């Protein structure tokens, strides 16, 4: 009984204290990663941040996802050194800010699709305050608050 309550409390605390509002972007939404879709238009007006994830959905074997640089993007040429993602449900975590380019290197999909996506990744957002928090202070207060919340929750549930 008690262990179940602790698990529930932990889940609640984890939800409350999730440090950022990371988002998952399904590329192409319900169309997925496919031919005859305007990925530049799809990316327009969206804000991508460090910590967000891109999800490329496609039928296994039909397409792939290759991270390229700006020149390779323009020329639709995938470098031999980069391994394409091929799972059909490829997750890419945006780890650094700046411009990112992705193409499909199957056949001429990049040119004809055009299966190419360029995005600009913005720095990570710390919520709720837009001002950067001193890391140390944040690191000390958050865990103690978390413990207090956890303990009170467990006490409430168990008793």
- Interface positions with Cu ion (CB under 5 A): 63, 104, 106, 109, 115
Residue 76 near residue 116, CB atoms below 8 Å: yes
Cβ nearer to Cu ion, comparing 104 with 153:
104
Instruction: Report the length, in residues, of the chain.
Output: 159
For residue 113, the minimal CB distance to Cu ion (Å) is 6
Reading the block at residue 56, the tokens are: 């490329």
Nearer to Cu ion, 76 or 104 (CB): 104
Q: How far is the CB of 78 from Cu ion (least distance, A)?
A: 11
Q: Does residue 115 contact residue 34 with C-beta atoms inside 8 Å?
A: yes
Q: Are the beta carbons of 147 and 6 closer than 8 angstroms?
A: no
Residue placing its CB nearer to Cu ion in the complex, 104 or 119: 104
| CB 106 to Cu ion: min, Å | 4
């Amino acid at each position: 009984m008690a262990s179940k309550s602790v698990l529930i409390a932990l889940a609640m605390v984890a939800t409350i204290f999730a440090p950022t509002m990371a988002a998952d972007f399904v590329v192409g939404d319900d169309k997925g990663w496919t031919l005859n879709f305007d990925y530049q238009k799809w990316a327009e007006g969206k804000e991508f941040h460090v910590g967000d994830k891109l999800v490329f959905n496609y039928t296994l074997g039909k397409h792939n996802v290759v991270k390229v640089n700006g020149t390779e993007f323009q020329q639709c040429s995938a470098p031999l050194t980069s391994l394409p993602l091929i799972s059909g449900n490829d997750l890419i975590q945006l780890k650094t800010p700046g411009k990112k380019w992705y193409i499909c290197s199957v056949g001429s999909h990049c040119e004809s699709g055009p299966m190419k996506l360029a995005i600009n990744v913005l720095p990570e957002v710390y919520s709720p305050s837009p001002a950067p928090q001193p890391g140390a202070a944040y690191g000390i207060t958050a865990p103690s608050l978390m413990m207090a919340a956890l303990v009170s929750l467990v006490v409430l549930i168990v008793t």
